[in-house]
Amino acid sequence: MSWRREAHVDRGGPDGGDGGHGGDVWLTTSTNQSSLLGFRDHPHRRATDGVHGSGGKRHGARGKDIEVPVPVGTVVRDNEGTVVCDLAQEGMRFMIAEGGQGGRGNSRFLSNSRRAPAFAEQGEKGQERWLDMELKLMADVALVGFPNAGKSTLISTVSAAKPKIADYPFTTLEPHLGVVRIGGSRDSTEFVMADIPGLVEGAAEGKGLGHQFLRHIERARVLVVLLDLDPNAVHEPADQLRILLGELEDYQPDLAVRPRIVVGSKADLADDSGVCDLVLSSMNGKGIRPLVEKLAVMVVEARATAEVVAAAEVVTHRPVPEGVDVQKVSPGVWLVVGRAAERAVAFSDLNDPGAQSEAVKRLRRMGVDRALSRAGVREGDEVTVGNLTFTWEQ
């Protein structure tokens, strides 16, 4: 709130400038980010405040936005578990917290009936949120199979990945990624293969850390169902295939129709040609080259299909309705909540008659009086809106 005071200028009038809006917090996907570990030790991200307005109708500067890079494949949820955004593509950008609007200076409230407004609008507080972020792997090919089926050995054979390999169940407790390249320098095809920890029967219900493992299969374009051909395996190859496909379908039905190839591993111990599209042995290299060639073709086809689908999608953006909600706190006591209503009474001095008149006008214009009447407010009841508490009169 400011007044123009200059020599030889009588009754200069109000000249308070507006405050600047607060900065916003944006999440942006970047291939330069590979994990969310940076948030474990430093979870807070904050944009800067807007600058106060000043005399001479000088408006304050807007606060600077902050862009927080996250890996491609990050899913953001609120405290209730509702998905806020799914950042599945490179270059996606999402405003995760909005800065508050700057308050208007007293020069904004000058009118023919109000020649000397002695109040200004308060700046709005920005959003503060706690969010859960989860990274889902963005792999072209996911290896699916029972524990100790040979997935880690296969990915170490076709890529430079070096997962832990041992002859006991659940050797792999977290996914490993490997980049597979086939072809010459000019016509090569590259794809990312993920070694998913072994599934067990009941994984879709969470058995054996099933949900933690299955979630990394959701984004894979192609599935390699790896069957253990070892005669000493717990299940026969046909039973392994039935159980694995059943678990995938129970967890997420579209996984059952995802492009896939059924591969038998450990062909040096047995040769099953009944349920497998291909058999291989990582020990002697049998079937490795045909598998990689087949996967390269499937990945290229899946990528082309995904691009067509993405190009055909129409994204519609609609403004989120702010709205006003009337809540009954106790008999004769009411609370009006909503960003618009709270902003309508955000003045520097609500004891000023002009500020009170402006607040009442704003509330009436947005229909707060009608909403209170519909809710059942009676004369003499106490109503609170933001920092303003008043007695209701008809």
pLDDT of residue 174: 66
Q: How far is CA 44 from CA 38, 72, 75, 128, 131, in A?
A: 10, 20, 17, 10, 10
pLDDT band at 161 (very low <50, low <70, confident <90, very high): low
This prediction's pTM: 0.66
pLDDT band at 102 (very low <50, low <70, confident <90, very high): very high
Tell me how far apart the alpha carbons of residues 14 and 19 are, in angstroms, rounded to a whole number. 15
In this structure, are residues 45 and 25 in contact, taking their beta carbons and an 8 Å threshold? yes
Mean residue pLDDT across the chain: 84
Q: Give the residue among 298, 291, 258, 266 at the shortest CA–CA distance from 277.
A: 291
What is the chain's length? 394
Tell me how far apart the alpha carbons of residues 159 and 295 are, in angstroms, rounded to a whole number. 13
pLDDT of residue 76: 92
How does strand 66-70 pair with strand 74-77? unpaired
Q: Is the pLDDT of residue 390 over 60?
A: yes
pLDDT of residue 268: 79
Q: Which two tokens stand for residue 91?
A: 């270059």
Each residue of 211-258: pLDDT tens digit? 566 777 888 889 999 998 888 887 888 998 998 888 888 888 888 889
Q: Is the pLDDT of residue 168 over 50?
A: no
For the chain, helix (H) and strand (E) counts, in that order, are 8, 16
Q: Give CA torsion, residues 176, 182, 184, 186, to 10 deg.
A: -70
Each residue of 260-276: pLDDT tens digit? 999 998 887 777 667 88
Could you give the residue ranges of the DSSP H alpha helices within 195-236? 210-214
Each residue of 291-349: pLDDT tens digit? 999 999 999 898 888 766 555 555 555 555 567 889 999 999 999 998 888 888 988 88
Which residues touch 148 (CB under 8 Å, ≥6 apart)?
Answer: 167, 168, 169, 171, 198, 228
Task: Compute the half-sphere exposure of residue 354: CA atoms within 13 Å on the CB side of its CA.
Answer: 17
Q: Which two tokens stand for residue 97?
A: 């917290």
pLDDT of residue 171: 47
Please state, as a whole number, how many other Cβ atoms lie within 10 Å of the Cβ of residue 183: 12
Q: Residue type for 177, please?
A: L
Q: For 87-100, what is the mean pLDDT? A: 89
pLDDT band at 202 (very low <50, low <70, confident <90, very high): low
Annotate 125-141 with DSSP letters as a single string.
PPP----EEEEPP--SE
